[in-house]
Chains A and B, each alone.
Chain A
Amino acid sequence: MTQHHELTRHIPRRGGRIRRVLLFTVVLIAVLAAGTTPRGVVVVANVQAFLEFYVGVFALVGLTGIVVFGLLASARFTPIWMRILAQGGHRALAVMSMAFLAAHIALKVMEGHAAPLAAVVPVAPPLVSLGTIAGDLMFLVFLTGIARGRFIGAGRTWTWRVIHISAYLSWPIAIYHGLNAGRPAKFWVTDSYVICMALVAIVAAWRFGDFLKRRGEVGPRPVARPAADRSPLDEARTDIPDETFWSDLKAEVRR
C-alpha cells in the first residue's frame, strides 16, 4: 500500500493533468446545465453584465500590474526574494489578464460593438483600434513570455528582450484606449494611471541607464553549463550581471 502510494506520487504530472481536465469538464457541464434554469438565466445575465462592465477594466489593471511586477522582477535594486515573488505575480497576472482580455474582446464582438475582424486587425474606429493594437502586442508579449526558455537557451536573449519589451508600448496604448473608448473615466482613475506611468517611466529609465553603464562590462551569458555538481558559491561570479540572482535561485530550488 505504501509502495503504491509512493509510486503514484511519482507519476503525478500526467495524472494530475487528466484529473484537472476531467474536473473542468464536469464543472463546465454543471455550469451549462445550471444556465438553463430560470434562476441560472438571471445569474448568467448578471455575470455577463458584470463582465461587460468590468472585464476590460480588469484587463487594463492586470496589464498595469504585469508591467509593474515585471519591472520589479527584473530591477537590480529589488531584493532577491521580492524578485522571485514579483516573478510569480507577473506570471499570475499575465495569465489572468489574457483571460480578461479574451473575455473583453469576445463580449464586445458578441454584442456587436465591434466586428469580429476588428478583434485582430485595427479596422474599427480609431479609439477601438488602439485596443486591438494593444491587445495584439499583449498577446505577442504573452507568447514570448511562455516561450522564454527557448529564447534564452538558444542564445537569442536579445530577440526575446526586444519583443518582450514591446509591452512598454502596448501598455500606454491600452491605457489610452481604456480611458477613452468606453464610458468616461473618473478623474481618480485617470490620475492613478498617469502616476503609475510616471513611476514606471522613472524606474524603467533607471534600469535602462544601469544597462547602458554596464553594457561594456557584460559578455554573453554562458549557455548550458553543467551546474549540478557545483556548489552555489562557485557560481557567484561577479562579471555576469544576473549570476548572483541565478545562483541564489538555484540554491532556493535545491533547498
Chain B
Amino acid sequence: VSDNNGGSILPLSNRIARLGTGAAVLVALAMCAIVQQTIRQQMAAHQAPVASPSPATVQTTTSKPKRKAKRTAAASSVTKLESKVRTTMRTSAAAQTAFGKQTLGQPNVEVSRVDQGKGWAFGTSAVEPPSGTGVSPYPSIFLAHLTKTGWQVALTGTAQFTTLLGKAPASVVPKTEVPILQKYGAAAPATPPTATGLTLPWSAGQSWTLEQASGTTALQFGGGDGRVLAPADGRIYRLCTHATGRGLLLMLHSNGLASEYYQLTGEPKLTDGTLIKQGTFLGKIGTDRPCGDPQPSAPAALSFAVLSAAHPLPLNGLQIGGWTLHTAGSGPVSAERLGVSVSAGNPLLNFGSLATASPTPKLASPSPSGST
C-alpha cells in the first residue's frame, strides 16, 4: 500500500482486513503456548511423588514399664480412652455445630502418642457427616490425661484443651508443637477470619475444577494433575487411619487456621506433627472416604475445608490464593478474582503465592517435631 493512494478507501479496508489476520496469529501463538504447557503438566503428573521417609506409627512411650500386668492394664486403658474420646466427640459443641445438630456417626479415634507412665495421650479424632451429605468430616485433635476418675479428654477449641496443653509432658506434645496447637485451639474471634493466607492446594499455574460441594464449609476440587500440595507451611496431623497412603489430613498453620484434606490416595508417610513446607506433596485426589462413609465419592476429587478455632469456616467471603469465595445462601459456590467469577463446575486457576496479598505465614520454629 503506497502513499499515493491518498483519498482511496480501499487501502484502509485492506488494512482492517489484515487486522483480522494479526489477531488470528496472536491466538495461534497463545494456543501453541497453552498446548505446550498442557503437555508439560501431563508429563509432570507421571513423575513419582516426593515422599517423606519418616514412618507413620503410633508412638508409645512407656516411662516406667514395670510389669506385664501393668502393660495389659494400659492397653485396656487405651481402649477406655478411645471410648471416652468418642463420647466427647459426639457431644462436642463444635462437631454439633459443624453438622447442624444431626445424629452423628461413630467418630474415629487415632491415638498418636501415649505416655503410659505419666498417664497422658495425644491423638486425633474425626466424625463423618451424616451419610450422603458429601461434606468433609469434622476433624479434631485431642489431649487426654489419666486421673483417678478416669481419662480426662479435651478437644481443640475448648478451654480445657489449652489447660491440658500447658501441663502435658514433652513425650506427648513436643515443645515445638505447643505454640501451633495453642493458637489453633484459642477461642474463636467474634467475626471469623476471611483472609486465610493460603494458596490453592495444587501446582501454581494449573486450573482445577471447582466442584459443586454440598454444605457451606467444604470445597471439592478435581482435575489437573491430581497432585495435592500443601498450600502453606504448617504441621500435619493424620486422622481416621494410619494405614499407608490413606486418611484425612489436617494441617495447622501458624496463623491459627487449619486446612483439611480428604479423599486423598497415595499420601506420603508423615508422622503427626511434622512440619512441612508449602508445596509439599500431600497425596493424589481420589474417592476414598476412610472416616466411615461407606459410599465412595465420585469423581475423584479433593475435599477441602478451612477451620479456625476448631470450627469449619463458612465459605462465603473466604479468601484463598487470591480468589474470594461466594455462596449465595446455601446456593452453589463461586470464586471471584478481579471481577472474574468462576462458578461451580468451572476451572479455577492457581496463581500460586504471587496472588496472596498477605505473606504466607511462616512458622517460628523450623525444626520438625521430634519425639522423646
The interface of chain A, by Cβ under 8 A from chain B, is 24, 27-28, 31-32, 34-36, 38, 41-42, 44-49, 51-53, 55, 81, 84-85, 87-89, 91-96, 98-100, 102-103, 106-107, 110-111, 183, 249, 252-253, 255
Contacts and interface: CB of A to CB of B under 8 A. Distances in A.
A46 B17 CA distance: 28
B14 A88 contact: yes
Nearest to B28: A99
Contacts of B38: 110
Nearest to B346: A183
B159 interface: no
Contacts of A28: 29, 32
B340 interface: yes
B367 interface: no
B207 A42 contact: no
Interface in B32-61: 32-38, 40
B207 A89 contact: no
A116 to B, nearest CB: 14
A93 B33 contact: no
A87 B13 contact: yes
Contacts of A96: 19-20, 23-24, 27
- What is the interface of chain B mostly: helix, strand, loop, or mixed? helix
Contacts of A87: 13, 17
B29 A45 contact: no
A95 B33 contact: no
Given A45-B351, A49-B340, A99-B27, 16 more contacts: A31-B32, A32-B32, A35-B33, A41-B205, A42-B204, A42-B205, A44-B205, A45-B37, A45-B204, A47-B33, A47-B34, A48-B34, A92-B16, A95-B23, A98-B24, A183-B346
Contacts of B25: 24
B37 A41 contact: yes
B302 interface: no
A41 B14 CA distance: 36
Interface stretch (B1-9, B127-135, B171-179): B1-9
Contact of B36 (A35, A53, A81, A98): A35
- What is the interface of chain A mostly: helix, strand, loop, or mixed? helix
Contacts of A52: 207, 347
A99 B24 contact: yes
Contacts of B265: none
Contacts of B37: 35, 41, 44-45, 48
A89 B12 CA distance: 10
Contact of A95 (B5, B21, B35): B21
B29 A95 contact: no
Contacts of A111: 207, 223, 347
B233 to A, nearest CB: 19
Nearest to A253: B10
Contacts of A49: 207, 340, 347, 349
B339 to A, nearest CB: 11
A51 B354 contact: no
A84 B32 CA distance: 34
13 contacts: A35-B36, A45-B204, A47-B30, A48-B34, A51-B31, A85-B12, A91-B17, A92-B23, A95-B24, A96-B23, A98-B24, A99-B23, A252-B10
Contacts of B70: none
Interface residues of B, number: 46
A85 B16 contact: yes
A253 B5 CA distance: 9
A8 to B, nearest CB: 15
B197 interface: no
A45 B206 contact: yes
Contacts of B10: 84, 249, 252-253
Contacts of A45: 37, 204-207, 349-351
Contacts of A183: 343, 346
Contacts of B6: 255
A38 B16 CA distance: 37
A58 to B, nearest CB: 9
Nearest first, the 9 A-B pairs at minimum CB distance are A92-B20, A88-B13, A99-B24, A88-B16, A95-B20, A45-B205, A91-B17, A41-B205, A99-B27
Given A44-B34, A103-B27, A255 B7 contact: yes
Contacts of A95: 17, 20-21, 23-24
A42 B28 contact: no
Contacts of A24: 25
B328 to A, nearest CB: 13
Contact of A27 (B18, B29, B35, B350): B29
Nearest to A183: B343
A92 B17 contact: yes
A30 to B, nearest CB: 9
B337 to A, nearest CB: 10
A48 B351 CA distance: 12
B149 to A, nearest CB: 58
Nearest to B354: A42
Nearest to A100: B27
B168 to A, nearest CB: 42
B15 interface: yes
A103 to B, nearest CB: 5
B260 to A, nearest CB: 26
B283 interface: no
B33 A44 contact: yes
Nearest to A29: B32
B20 A94 contact: yes
